[in-house]
Structure 1
Amino acid sequence: MLPTGSADRVLSADDATATALFNCLVREVCAPDHQVWPRGGHLLIRLPRLDVLLRARLARPPLGFTYRLTAPYQELRAGSGEWAAVDWRRLAELVAGELELTTGQANPEFVEQVTASHTALAALLAARGPAAPPPPRRPAEDRDGVRPFARGSRPALTGDDRCAVYLASEQSLVAGHRFHPSPKARQGKPEEWLPYAPEAGARFPLRWLAVREEVFAEGGDAAGFAALEALAPPPPPGHRLLPAHPWQLSLLAGRPVLRRALESGLLVDLGQGGPEAVPTSSVRTLYVPAADVFCKFSLDMRITNCVRKNSWYELTGAVTLDRLLRPVFAELGERFGGCRLLPEPAYRSVHLADRRLHEGLGVILRGGVRALAGTPLVAAVLADPYGTGPVSVATLPCTADPDGALAWWARYVALVAPPALDAYLTHGVVLEPHLQNVVVAVDETGMPTQAAFRDLEGTKLVAGRWDAALAGLPGRVREALTYSAEQGWNRVVYCLLVNHLAEIAAAVADRHPRLEAELWRVLRECVADYARGRPGDARLRALLAGVPLPAKANLRVRWSRSADRAAGYIPVPNPLGTAPHDRAAPPRTPADAELIRRR
């Protein structure tokens, strides 16, 4: 069994679903309408169109724009003036009602999506079992009887130990995105997807297809798959190897073209075999430790927002970006702490008379993490308020005291922020440095040593700056690889500051509440130091002057059923401009005061 939560805050499907909905309401509905008030250890929010007042408990006084909310969630009953518990289902219905009145549009799928997410989370927690001591696979424990990075212990982790810690971090993100209304929504029944769920600790061998040369499709570096092929079943003569996700192959099994290809020998199903593959936090991307590579598969399955398939233009786009970004990251790595982009040098698929098979069997190869300078951790595990992973900010020995925590934070932001900003401003490259797209290597005390950025699907180029390099590509590929300058800047700032660094800062402040203002001051100094090398850059000046930050509107995207690429942004306060203000007594209109008094 895998652990389900820290001793101080146990994860439950009901509370995690309610928390995510409450967070979305605060950020995207109530705060923009100035309907949010911290009061007496609670956060009050009003749904102005429904005329409903809600509250949640504040875990600590708020600074910046990130609230730490916990159960109980309550609704003020009209007439009685008493607070009554409100569960996640009632919250989902209230969100739907408020958004319908706000937008003038209905979305009958919304409550169903929230329900699906709750069902999935409950199934994951049941599969993980009750809170328990760490399992035997935890690194260093078998040899030393201690947790990795535990205070007072400095085990010399081997490569296998570091890999085990890394995989535990990838598979521990049980609650998902804190600002998404249905972060664990998955198509299908739990019994269908649990065997492949990272949060349930899934591990399995790959499925292998042997593909006749004349229908074999590939792009990029043909030698990229060599390490993986060396561990696979041998193909028949005249065939090439294609790794497949066993779940995806079962989803495609009914395609007539696939059946005929298997019957004719164009494709040969070699079955499951070879080394163990481990699903990472994205579900469809598997890590193969024995080969130190990732395989990013298609899954014809809706997960959270969309069906997770590798479109034909994304296959070509990945290897194109890999080629174009190698010199960019060679320069960034020299300037900024050895930062890296995990490469995506090659893809493979099939050329059959069915585009869905070309996309559905397409796999993008991604380079591994063993060469990073320390123990790799997906950044999201550090910010997880439930502590479901092998490590978090709260368990690192180097953050035990305030001075150590500040030193840790200064090193962290220096590794992550300047390269992400410079990639955009100097090179016209839009990274997506959100919590799940950054892998941070740490030493044996937990001090950050290196940052690696990943996932070229979300990486874009600024339109107009790379036209010559993209000139020979099909129009759909060029379109998928580019953002406008404004789109790109909003994406970088959101992913870097709102999604990522604000959440890490909140985790540090959970351990040392008095540090929060100082954490933002340190981040401001880091950005200001970088800006000194770019005098006159209006975007950096605005950022440091406190222009509101863009927060991705996940709730409104789900409500409008828009593509993720079309997501809008909600402005949130920018603590980089000045020291964050204590919001214990924010200004409010007389009408707001009267509403609270009446109730």
Structure 2
Amino acid sequence: MNISPSGMAAPLPAAEPDHGRNVFLAAQRLSANCFFNALLRETGCGTWYRRERRPLPNGVSAPAVCIPLATGKTELWLNVSYFSECGRHQFALPIVWRSGDGHCAQVDLAQAAQLVADEPGFFPGADRVSRAQFTRRVEASVDNMAQALRARSSDCEHLFAQPLTFVEAEQGLLCGHAIHPTPKSREPFTDEDAQRYAPEFGNHFSLTWLGVDAQFVRGASSAQLSQGAVTDRVREGDGVAPAPGGMVALPAHPWQWRRLRKDARLAALIAQGKIIELGCGAASWHATSSLRAVYSAQSPYMLKFSLSLRLTNSVRTLQPQEAARGLEVLKVRDTPAGREFTSRYPHFHILAEPAYLMLTDSEGEQIVESLVMFRENPFVGEKSRQACVLATLTQDHPQGAPCRAAQLILQLAQRQRLSPAAATRRWFAAFLDVVVEPLLIAQADFGMLFGAHQQNLILAFRDGIPVTGYFRDCQGTGYSQLGEQLLRPHLPDLARDGDNLIHEAQANRLFVYYLIVNSTFGLISALAAAELLTERELLCQLRDRLQLLWEGRRKDPSCLEYLLHDAEIWAKGNFQCALTGMNETTSADPFSIYHRLPNPLLIRQPHRSQG
């Protein structure tokens, strides 16, 4: 990489209109937030300058952060527009590179990523090939984000400040993972694939339907309906004729089917007429924020497909044990413990996945790339209105305005004549009521573990206040020793196929990362960045609730004690995962990418503002 001592990275073409330049800069800024928050959290490499204690590089003014690079004794500098105790900072362009002899240059994120990847001290387990691949993915992610921002630029006001339906919110997540170096990487999607199938472009498509000789289909169901009956409910709603006698109708994602029909394992079956195409459905299906899960307002089920596509940390092919976990949730819900949990928290719902299907080859071996799971879909009719995935509520605004959650709170304050601080406390308390408390009690009193990160949590609203919480994606479920004790008498085969009994210490690390670090701290940072309340005030409100729950004599208080008393908690290392090229879902040791971070809940009570 060449950086001139005179100071500037290559400028945009002069002929590019202002709108194009603004989109490019927005994608750079949003991507820099994601990239550097992940790097700083995992390495602790930053030196923070709250005030100007020494001369700063040209283009940088305090507050700022300096990232030293051992190679050549150089540095990267960023302006800091918001400093977060929870670790989700906001940065301002430019990114400035300073050499050992004091020369400065403004660099774009791809150049900064190259400098970071060239540092052997950052994640020494990464080899040369994975580092080169990493820099390509960073650059592609920025380009992908710019492409989406350009396509949705006229929707910005609607996405951040107006009422949204379930599908509008799912397709309104423009930025991706807030703490990840490649939040919008998607290989091997082309731009045309993305425009048709990626949710952030706001489009829809038709499913491809297959007729498959029954001997080449594997599946299971834990519902009262067989998997065939579940499939027929979707097929009939999609306006597709039944499969011929002896065949099973199987829905396929059109992008994935284009790849599968070239697969040597299926070629002979297709040639022999054992697999035929029934045609395209009539309904409109929309990719949700996860891309591989799709939604139709006419269907009682959402569908989650295997996709041979690398998004962020993983190739998104489903595994049989993941499908088994989805089936088991329905059984767990129907146990005495499951029914008691539901009765205690009627405004919190776990969306089960009651059936799955996949193809097999001529030898009977499962083809996981064809797997499709059926997920309960409550978001039909009136319930499809005013429902929003948490990640869309907290994402950074492309123009730097407050996030969607903050704008909802400001609207609430205006309607009810509250101060912004009072409205924020009320809104956040409702979030604790319908999301955080139910999930913590599921762990502490029932031994049920739900990986509730921001894309797996959906809030429903009434008058701008969260009134219902939903958890989806049962692949991220597990059971602790307490769960095993409570559930095994009713489910003797608990976790036999799902492989998701988790030891207490590991369970607490995983559970807390998803629900608290990813989701709740992410929300706190987003609200505080909008200057509604300080992070310290929101953390105290969270800590007060945790303390109250702990005092309730829990069956397993270990997780609450971990949150309230441990000096450090664990978080997933998305930067490490991306730089080393790990496929998280198939890693032999997925815990190897977790790292410690200071626990921001060990805090003193702030002076509480009035309002």
Q: Same fold (TM over 0.5)?
A: yes
Match of 1:541 in 2: 561
* Mapped partners of 1:90, 1:384: distance in 2: 25
Structure 2 residue identity aligned to 1:403: A
Structure 1 residue identity aligned to 2:455: Q
* Mapped partners of 1:411, 1:421: distance in 2: 15
Matched, 1:447 2:465: yes
Structure 1 SS opposite 2:186: coil
* Mapped partners of 2:131, 2:330: distance in 1: 37
User: Could you tell me whether the CA contact under 8 Å between 2:327 and 2:354 is conserved in 1?
Assistant: yes
Match of 2:358 in 1: 349
User: Could you tell me whether the CA contact under 8 Å between 1:175 and 1:183 is conserved in 2?
Assistant: yes
Shifted more, 321-330 versus 393-402: the winner is: 321-330
Match of 2:32 in 1: 18
Deviation of 1:248 after TM superposition, in Å, equals 0.6
* Mapped partners of 1:442, 1:273: distance in 2: 32
- Mark the CA change 1:118 to 1:171 in structure 2 (over 3 Å): closer, same or farther: farther
- Mark the CA change 1:356 to 1:123 in structure 2 (over 3 Å): closer, same or farther: farther
Deviation of 1:104 after TM superposition, in Å, equals 6.0
User: Could you tell me whether the CA contact under 8 Å between 1:275 and 1:288 is conserved in 2?
Assistant: yes
Structure 2 SS opposite 1:299: coil
Match of 1:152 in 2: none
Match of 1:212 in 2: 213
Matches within 5 A, 1:337-486: 338-353=347-362, 358-370=367-379, 375-386=386-397, 392-396=404-408, 397-398=411-412, 401-443=420-462, 445-462=463-480, 465-466=483-484, 468=488, 472=493, 477-479=497-499, 481-486=500-505
- Among candidates 253, 266, 280, match of residue 245 of structure 1: 253
Deviation of 1:135 after TM superposition, in Å, equals 9.4
User: Could you tell me whether the CA contact under 8 Å between 2:212 and 2:274 is conserved in 1?
Assistant: yes
Deviation of 1:270 after TM superposition, in Å, equals 0.9
Match of 1:528 in 2: 547
Match of 1:156 in 2: none
- Among candidates 285, 289, 305, match of residue 281 of structure 1: 289
Deviation of 1:473 after TM superposition, in Å, equals 7.9
Deviation of 1:330 after TM superposition, in Å, equals 3.5
- Among candidates 231, 239, 256, match of residue 225 of structure 1: 231
Matched, 1:566 2:591: yes
* Mapped partners of 2:536, 2:23: distance in 1: 25
Structure 1 residue identity aligned to 2:542: L
- Mark the CA change 1:131 to 1:276 in structure 2 (over 3 Å): closer, same or farther: closer
Structure 2 SS opposite 1:119: helix
Structure 2 SS opposite 1:556: helix
* Mapped partners of 2:315, 2:364: distance in 1: 15
Structure 2 SS opposite 1:73: strand
- Mark the CA change 1:44 to 1:286 in structure 2 (over 3 Å): closer, same or farther: same
* Mapped partners of 2:552, 2:23: distance in 1: 44
Deviation per residue, 1:484-536 (Å, 9 max, x gap) = 22221111111111111111111211222543221111111111111111269
Match of 1:89 in 2: 110
Structure 2 SS opposite 1:436: helix
Structure 2 SS opposite 1:352: coil
Matches within 5 A, 1:152-163: none
User: Could you tell me whether the CA contact under 8 Å between 1:312 and 1:358 is conserved in 2?
Assistant: no
User: Could you tell me whether the CA contact under 8 Å between 1:55 and 1:73 is conserved in 2?
Assistant: yes
Deviation of 1:345 after TM superposition, in Å, equals 0.6
Size of the aligned set, in residue pairs, is 549
Structure 2 residue identity aligned to 1:524: R
Matches within 5 A, 1:124-143: 125-126=146-147, 129=150, 132-134=153-155
Structure 2 residue identity aligned to 1:238: G
Task: Provide structure 1 residue ranges, at least 5 long, that are not aligned to the other structure.
Answer: 140-145, 150-161, 583-599
* Mapped partners of 1:228, 1:135: distance in 2: 33
Deviation of 1:195 after TM superposition, in Å, equals 1.9
- Among candidates 546, 550, 571, match of residue 570 of structure 2: 550
- Mark the CA change 1:420 to 1:516 in structure 2 (over 3 Å): closer, same or farther: same
- Mark the CA change 1:261 to 1:399 in structure 2 (over 3 Å): closer, same or farther: farther
* Mapped partners of 1:216, 1:21: distance in 2: 42
Matched, 1:488 2:495: no
Deviation per residue, 1:291-326 (Å, 9 max, x gap) = 142100111222222221122332333212332244
Shifted more, 347-356 versus 448-457: the winner is: 347-356
Matches within 5 A, 1:296-375: 296-327=304-335, 328-336=337-345, 338-353=347-362, 358-370=367-379, 375=386
* Mapped partners of 1:537, 1:362: distance in 2: 38
Structure 1 SS opposite 2:218: strand
- Mark the CA change 1:274 to 1:176 in structure 2 (over 3 Å): closer, same or farther: same
Deviation of 1:360 after TM superposition, in Å, equals 1.9
User: Could you tell me whether the CA contact under 8 Å between 2:424 and 2:533 is conserved in 1?
Assistant: no
* Mapped partners of 1:130, 1:193: distance in 2: 11
Matched, 1:54 2:76: yes
* Mapped partners of 1:104, 1:257: distance in 2: 35
- Mark the CA change 1:195 to 1:281 in structure 2 (over 3 Å): closer, same or farther: same
* Mapped partners of 1:168, 1:392: distance in 2: 13
User: Could you tell me whether the CA contact under 8 Å between 1:14 and 1:118 is conserved in 2?
Assistant: no
Deviation per residue, 1:444-475 (Å, 9 max, x gap) = x3210111011011112236853847764896
Match of 2:14 in 1: none
* Mapped partners of 1:581, 1:190: distance in 2: 49
Structure 2 SS opposite 1:219: strand
* Mapped partners of 1:544, 1:464: distance in 2: 20
Matched, 1:44 2:65: yes
User: Could you tell me whether the CA contact under 8 Å between 1:169 and 1:391 is conserved in 2?
Assistant: no
User: Could you tell me whether the CA contact under 8 Å between 2:326 and 2:352 is conserved in 1?
Assistant: no
* Mapped partners of 2:406, 2:360: distance in 1: 50
Deviation of 1:366 after TM superposition, in Å, equals 0.3
Match of 2:195 in 1: 194
Deviation per residue, 1:534-589 (Å, 9 max, x gap) = 2693442342235222221111122333342334322222232223899xxxxxxx
Matched, 1:579 2:604: yes
* Mapped partners of 2:133, 2:122: distance in 1: 19
* Mapped partners of 1:519, 1:474: distance in 2: 37
Structure 2 SS opposite 1:276: coil
- Mark the CA change 1:331 to 1:74 in structure 2 (over 3 Å): closer, same or farther: farther
Shifted more, 265-274 versus 324-333: the winner is: 324-333
Structure 1 SS opposite 2:206: strand
Shifted more, 88-97 versus 324-333: the winner is: 324-333
Structure 1 residue identity aligned to 2:441: D
Structure 1 SS opposite 2:207: strand
Q: With the length of structure 1 as denominator, give the TM-score of the two structures.
A: 0.83
Match of 1:511 in 2: 530
Structure 2 residue identity aligned to 1:21: F
* Mapped partners of 1:70, 1:14: distance in 2: 10
* Mapped partners of 1:356, 1:59: distance in 2: 54
Shifted more, 65-74 versus 175-184: the winner is: 65-74
Structure 2 residue identity aligned to 1:548: E
Deviation per residue, 1:41-99 (Å, 9 max, x gap) = 3232333644443322222354443322222222333223x653232123212322334
Task: Provide structure 2 residue ranges, at least 5 long, that are not aligned to the other structure.
Answer: 1-18, 53-61, 415-419, 585-589
Structure 1 SS opposite 2:82: coil
Matches within 5 A, 1:106-185: 106-123=127-144, 125-126=146-147, 129=150, 132-134=153-155, 148-149=162-163, 165-185=165-185
* Mapped partners of 2:344, 2:594: distance in 1: 31
Deviation per residue, 1:22-52 (Å, 9 max, x gap) = 1122111135xx7444445323233364444
